[in-house]
Chains A and B, each alone.
Chain A
């Protein structure tokens, strides 16, 4: 079956460090991958989109990569801050939009 997996359920890092989150997909070839942030009690909010023919995308402190050989996307937050603490979700798009289970990031001061 088609799967999008985020390997880490939780990630704890120190303020100022770079957080790296992983998203893998199997039996699936998404044309696009998207990353969302979700805070408790709220709906997800869009962060970045990357197409399968793009290697890397950046937006301020955020960077996302897409490796179709490894079937993997990496999401980086540089110079992390406690305000970055949230759950981060990756989603694959073909005709529909499917999500991984999410990684709960905690940035400690």
Chain B
């Protein structure tokens, strides 16, 4: 199995609080992605990174920020969580270019109450 872990696996938080999800890889892969998955919507891209300190927005980036200060870690932050951000979040890694398969983490189930 590819070395990718997400933490935490489950989290319940209150509306208005900041939340940070972590994705950690041991594969030295260049690309890292954050997705959210909701019923009927499949995987929607939030933000992605193509190198240290190189990030870009995806389809549903409003309300989210990311940081990648080193190759192995990609952090997703909800500055002020809202109930609409209740979802399952997946991180993915991909090798030297986009011509390679991606590996996914186990997912983080986030509930905002």
Interface residue ranges, A against B (CB under 8 Å): 6, 9, 31-32, 34, 36, 41-46, 49, 51, 89, 91, 93-102
Contact = CB atoms under 8 A, between A and B. Distances in A.
B42 A45 contact: no
Contacts of A97: 31, 33, 45, 48, 92, 94, 98, 102
Nearest to B33: A97
Interface residues of B, number: 27
Given A34-B101, A34-B102, A46-B102, A101 B94 contact: no
Interface stretch (B64-72, B75-83, B103-111): B103-111
8 interchain residue pairs of minimum CB distance? A43-B104, A101-B42, A46-B101, A93-B98, A99-B43, A102-B42, A96-B48, A99-B42
B99 A96 contact: no
Nearest to B98: A93
Most buried by B among A9, A31, A95, A96: A96
Contacts of A94: 98
Most chain A CB atoms below 10 A, which of B33, B43, B92, B99: B43
A41 B108 CA distance: 10
A31 B98 contact: yes
Contacts of B42: 6, 89, 99-102
A101 to B, nearest CB: 4
B74 interface: no
Contacts of B33: 96-97
A96 B56 contact: yes
Contacts of B92: 43-44, 97
Contacts of A51: 99
B1 to A, nearest CB: 10
Contacts of A102: 42-43
